[in-house]
Amino acid sequence: MTIKAIHHVQLAMPAGQENAARAFYQGLLGLNEVSKPSNLAARGGCWFENGGVRVHLGVEANFAPAKKAHPGFVVDDLSSICATLEKAGFPTISDEPLEGYLRKYVSDPFGNRIELMQIAAA
């Protein structure tokens, strides 16, 4: 048996905050919202994707943000996406260097940690 890929990343969110999720994940990060299957739609939350990147946000009753665990998204222009996020009120934070990457962290509207990574020029 071999794991071949990650199908999606699931993050939690509080109930009733789908518009905030759309504004961040679609409006700022550029992921497209996709319809949830009808049997799951009643649970709330939103699903987003762009190419092979899939993020599912699910409602959690006793929501607490993931402040350490996080997805790492590879981006093509780290400075541009960070400028967009900063302008929208989402501060980005630098961390220790990681060989081969430029990277920063941002928290989504719910406090979940997101890593943004750009492959460094050789």
Mean pLDDT of 59-76: 96
pLDDT of 99 reads: 94
Mean pLDDT of 102-109: 97
CATH architecture of residue range(s) 9-119? Roll (3.10)
User: How far is Cα 64 from Cα 79, in angstroms, rounded to an integer?
Assistant: 29
Contact 108, 115 (CB under 8 A): no
Over 90: is that where the pLDDT of 97 sits?
A: no
Over 80: is that where the pLDDT of 122 sits?
A: no
43-34-25 Cα angle (round to 5): 90
Over 80: is that where the pLDDT of 28 sits?
A: yes
114-8-69 Cα angle (round to 5): 35
Which SS3 state, helix, strand or coil, does residue 48 take? Answer: strand
Over 90: is that where the pLDDT of 61 sits?
A: yes
Over 80: is that where the pLDDT of 58 sits?
A: yes
pLDDT of 121 reads: 83
